[in-house]
């Protein structure tokens, strides 16, 4: 799950699967975003008047009003939203009560992306947006509603340093059973002060392993750019759209690869993040055309490329079933505008946009405020982006990408390069 000013009010964007994102756009006027492990748009955050101490019932009623005014489904999933306005009034005596009943209220929508964040979780999202977290440096996913799987370790992070690997299944956290818990619940158990240890027990195939990992402050780097194939091909991996630095890092990656004949843009295992990052990065690559359209109860908005791309190098895009929200917006924009071949497997399928609003008491709620369509008008929610070329195995995906890119390069009269790329833009 992000250039957001820490002062309030402010707007932010996120993408789900525990994914956030909030960013100011340079070429696109609207600031929006997508949401932890999916995408979110964030609206003006509520803050009580100076000197005003919020009452617990005010927290609940503020949440109710925000959903009433902004939820994308005017039928509220068939619920009579008015019935919930005062349902818990006599039971709310503390902030903890208010938080509990806000969560219960949101659950009636049966929308996994419209959800409550307690003050600690909201602060963690802010830290992620600032590209700085305290933890062990892993991405987690729940498989089959039961198994907690490490999908990625942050390079040189605490978990990777002690030997934790992608595909490890976490079975215990500090001696507490982790089977069946969600990534969010696991994050609660793993959180702690920098310098404090946490013990993680995992299954690796049939082997059991235990690691004691010291929590550290971790800088989140969104982009890795490297030159392959004897200097002819650039491989730029975008692992998240969550941090404020994602689009800046991507621009720097393009500069590093500016003398290559073609680019592989790798979005595999990318859970998404800020919509604004997806828009800005798409604008760096597209010569023209629509990037994405969002549809809410209040109308339709379309974001269009500025027509001033940073590169015109041939492109292929790698995706898989974990490429979600912001990743799908970028992949869909490049596919529908015929800017690059999409290679891999069908993507995750999150076509909804969330907004995060701060509540009195330091908590927040994510609210699904719109759905989005690719440039060709395709709704990918629960469907995903279909690749142009199907390849399942990661090695096969890379081999297919190289073949496709080399064919594109060979068809050109002369290589298209961008050696004059400037980071000042």
Decide if 325 is catalytic. yes
Closest CA to 72 of 384, 355, 383, 359: 355
Locus of tokens 């070429």? 27
User: Residues 124, 350, 370, 404: which is the catalytic one?
Assistant: 350
d(CA 400, CA 343) in angstroms, rounded, equals 7
Closest CA to 366 of 47, 23, 40: 40
d(CA 145, CA 141) in angstroms, rounded, equals 10
Instruction: Output phi, psi for 295, to 5 deg.
Output: -125, 120
Closest CA to 153 of 239, 234, 90, 238: 239
Decide if 127 is catalytic. no
Using left for φ > 0, alpha for ψ between -120 and 50, and beta otherwise, residue 55 falls in: beta
Write out the H or E segment, with its range, that includes residue 157: none
Write out the H or E segment, with its range, that includes residue 161: helix 158-162
User: Residues 258, 335, 336, 370: which is the catalytic one?
Assistant: 336
Is the Cβ–Cβ distance between 310 and 250 less than 8 Å? no
Question: In sequence order, what are the residues at sequence separation of 6 or more whose Cβ sits closer than 8 angstroms to the Cβ of residue 185?
Answer: none
d(CA 378, CA 346) in angstroms, rounded, equals 14
Is the Cβ–Cβ distance between 40 and 354 less than 8 Å? yes
User: Residues 243, 325, 327, 370: which is the catalytic one?
Assistant: 325
Catalytic residues: 325, 336, 350
């Amino acid at each position: 799950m992000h250039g957001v000013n820490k002062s309030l009010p402010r707007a932010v964007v996120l993408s789900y699967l525990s994914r956030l994102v909030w960013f100011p756009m340079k070429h696109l006027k609207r600031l929006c975003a997508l949401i932890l492990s999916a995408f979110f748009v964030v609206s003006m955050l509520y803050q009580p008047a100076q000197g005003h101490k919020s009452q617990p019932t005010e927290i609940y009623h503020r949440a109710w009003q925000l959903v009433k005014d902004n939820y994308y489904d005017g039928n509220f999933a068939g619920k009579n939203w008015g019935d919930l306005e005062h349902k818990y009034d006599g039971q709310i005596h503390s902030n903890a009560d208010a938080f509990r009943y806000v969560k219960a209220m949101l659950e009636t929508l049966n929308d996994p992306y419209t959800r409550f964040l307690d003050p600690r979780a909201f602060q963690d999202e802010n830290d992620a947006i600032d590209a700085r977290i305290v933890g062990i440096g892993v991405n987690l996913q729940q498989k089959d509603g039961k198994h907690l799987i490490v999908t990625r370790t942050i390079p040189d992070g605490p978990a990777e340093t002690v030997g934790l690997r992608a595909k490890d299944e976490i079975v215990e956290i500090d001696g507490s059973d982790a089977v069946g818990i969600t990534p969010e619940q696991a994050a609660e158990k793993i959180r702690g002060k920098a310098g404090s240890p946490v013990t993680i027990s995992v299954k690796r195939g049939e082997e059991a392993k235990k690691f004691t990992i010291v929590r550290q402050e971790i800088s989140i780097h969104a982009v890795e750019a490297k030159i392959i194939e004897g200097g002819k091909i650039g491989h730029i991996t975008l692992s998240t759209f969550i941090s404020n630095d994602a689009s800046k890092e991507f621009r720097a990656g393009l500069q590093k690869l500016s003398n290559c004949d073609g680019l592989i843009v790798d979005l595999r295992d990318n859970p998404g993040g800020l919509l604004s990052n997806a828009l800005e990065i798409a604008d760096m690559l597209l010569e023209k055309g629509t990037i994405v359209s969002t549809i809410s109860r209040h109308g339709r908005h379309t974001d269009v490329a500025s027509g001033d791309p940073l590169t015109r190098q041939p492109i292929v895009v790698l995706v898989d079933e974990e490429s979600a929200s912001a990743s799908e917006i970028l992949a869909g924009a490049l596919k529908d505008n015929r800017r690059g071949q999409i290679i891999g497997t069908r993507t995750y399928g999150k076509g909804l946009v969330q907004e995060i609003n701060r509540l009195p008491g330091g908590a927040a709620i994510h609210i699904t405020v719109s759905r989005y369509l690719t440039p060709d008008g395709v709704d990918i929610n629960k469907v995903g982006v279909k690749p142009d070329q199907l390849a399942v195995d990661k090695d096969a995906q890379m081999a297919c990408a190289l073949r496709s890119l080399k064919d594109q390069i060979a068809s050109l009269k002369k290589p298209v390069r961008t050696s004059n790329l400037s980071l000042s833009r």
